[in-house]
Amino acid sequence: MIKMLAENLIGIDTRLQINWVWLNASLQFVSWGLFSLLLAEVLRDSYHALCHQVNWLAKWHNKHHMAYRRDLSIVSLKVYQESQLYHDILESSLLLVVLVVIALIVQHKGLWLGVAYGCTFLYGASVRYFQGKIDTDYNHLPGPLETIPSIWWVNRTYHWRHHFDDVNAYYSGVFPLVDKILGTGLSLKGKTIALTGASGALGQALAAELVKNNAKVVALTTNPEKLVEQVGVKVVPWQLGNEANLRDSLEKVDILIINHGINVYASRTSEAINTSYEVNTFSALRLMDIFLTTVTGPQAKATKEIWVNTSEAEVSPALSPLYELSKRALGDIVTLKRLDGDCVIRKLILGPFKSQLNPYGVMSAQQVARAILFFARRDFRNIIVAINPLTYLLFPLKETSASLYYRVFSRTAKSEQELRKQ
């Protein structure tokens, strides 16, 4: 009996050893395969970026840009096919050669996944060149832009921006990894950016940094006397409760940054409650709704954005209950509004910085402003600038769970209209 048991254990151990060998080989194959796919993406998008920086490469790549009108319809079939030959086929062939050479040198089977992936680009470009089929060119299909730029992959709206927003940005072709590395996931050049709370510490710091990034700033302020004249900044006064009067100004704005707020500290009177919610929550929501009415036209979803300063108070104490409550309410409704996909809506989750609202802040407004633009240019939709490490853990958990809950238990305005018709 003992002998049989020992033989069975030896058999099991042998099978486990074989399984471990197979598992190890599989993991290595998958790891090298994923690396090769990542390498293919980085090489392809890096070459694309070089085409906009190196003159002799730009000569060939420009044929690609010449092939499309603003609605992404092709100028002519001949020009389109030339663009496939001189750019897409050339790019795919160079990519394939580099990947094959690397696979032969390293000699690991997993690297051939990248080679196979590279072949798909060459095949698609060849079909478009020899047969003139544009339906395989997914990011260049003509027509209005119906969705906002995707954060996880490059969709039509994302790539449209490369052609008609800023050719020296948005280089990525499938996954926006290279744009996040280079800081070309959002171009601020030439954008008209409206900013509330412009007379505050962060407002002034943001305005200065935006001008440095070649943006045109519209400073929306309830205290215009506190602002000094600055090149590239237009001051527009407004009053709380009269947000609708700003619509004409917002019509011409690409990005609206909602940054104004109030902190009543320890007060909990009825007046303090009303003031906190009116300034921190309802005024911000009215501005969002007004701005969203300007997101019209076939390309508006590609260029219009809202950035909302909801602050670290969404997930952390601010030693000011009404500030926390009003900012959390704003943050939750912004999460809800994001689900409609009307335009890109970014959240600014900011820790304590020195300002009129918080004279004891640890960070400076200039540091925070630079960090905001650093992450915005890398297309972060939730921009966290905080010294509390827990914020980087708690906020994503809170935002993901809340977004999922709202998605399941709420309906879009379009769905509401359809239900009423029934």
Helix (H, G, I), strand (E, B) or coil at 177: helix
Average of per-residue pLDDT values in the chain: 90
Question: pLDDT over 70 for what percent of the chain?
Answer: 93
68 is catalytic: no
> pLDDT (tens digit, 9 = 90+) per residue, 323-339?
999 999 999 999 999 99
The band of 417, judged by pLDDT with boundaries at 50, 70 and 90, is: low
CA distance 20 to 69: 56
Q: How many whole angstroms separate alpha carbon 303 and alpha carbon 148?
A: 9
Q: Are the C-beta atoms of residues 306 and 319 closer than 8 Å to each other?
A: no
Average pLDDT over residues 307-327: 93
Query: CB-based burial of residue 350 (10 Å sphere; 0-12 exposed, 13-18 middle, 19+ buried)?
Result: buried
**What is the rounded distance in angstroms from the CA atom of residue 283 to the CA atom of residue 220?**
13
Among the residue ranges 12-21, 126-135, 313-322, the one predicted with the least confidence is 12-21
Question: What's the average model confidence in pLDDT over 399-406?
Answer: 96
Q: What is the distance of C-alpha 91 from the center of its chain?
A: 26
What is the reported pLDDT for 3? 56
Residue 10 pLDDT more than 80? Answer: no
**384, pLDDT greater than 80:** yes
User: What is the C-alpha separation between 1 and 13, in angstroms, rounded?
Assistant: 18
Q: Rounded mean pLDDT of 262-286?
A: 95
4 pLDDT higher than 80: no
Arithmetic mean of pLDDT, 283-298: 95
- Report how far residue 224's alpha carbon sits from residue 245's, in angstroms, rounded to the nearest whole number: 16
Please tell me which residue in 129, 171, 323, 392 is annotated as part of the active site: 323
Query: Is a pLDDT exceeding 60 seen at residue 257?
Result: yes
Query: With 80 as the cut, is the pLDDT of residue 2 above it?
Result: no
**Domain map of the chain by residue range?**
26-139, 192-417
Which strands, in side-by-side order, build the sheet including 382-385? 233-237, 216-221, 192-196, 255-258, 305-309, 344-350, 382-385
Tell me the C-alpha distance between 56 and 156, whole Å: 27
Tokens of 69: 């009108």
Residue indicated by tokens 């960070």: 363
- What is the three-class DSSP state of 205? helix
List, in order, residues 6 or more apart from 214 with CB less than 8 Å away: 188, 189, 190
100, 117 in Cβ contact below 8 A?
Answer: no
Over range 231-239, report the average pLDDT.
Answer: 91
| Lowest mean pLDDT across 74-88, 132-146, 211-225, 230-244 | 132-146
pLDDT (0 to 100) of residue 416? 65
52-61, 62-71, 412-421: least confident range: 412-421
- Which pLDDT value is given to residue 419? 63
Q: At the fourth CATH level, which superfamily is domain 192-417?
A: NAD(P)-binding Rossmann-like Domain (3.40.50.720)
Query: Is residue 279's pLDDT more than 80?
Result: yes
Predicted confidence band at 6 (pLDDT cuts at 50, 70, 90)? Answer: low
**Phi-psi bin for 183: left (phi > 0), alpha (psi -120 to 50), beta?**
left
- Whole-structure pTM value: 0.90
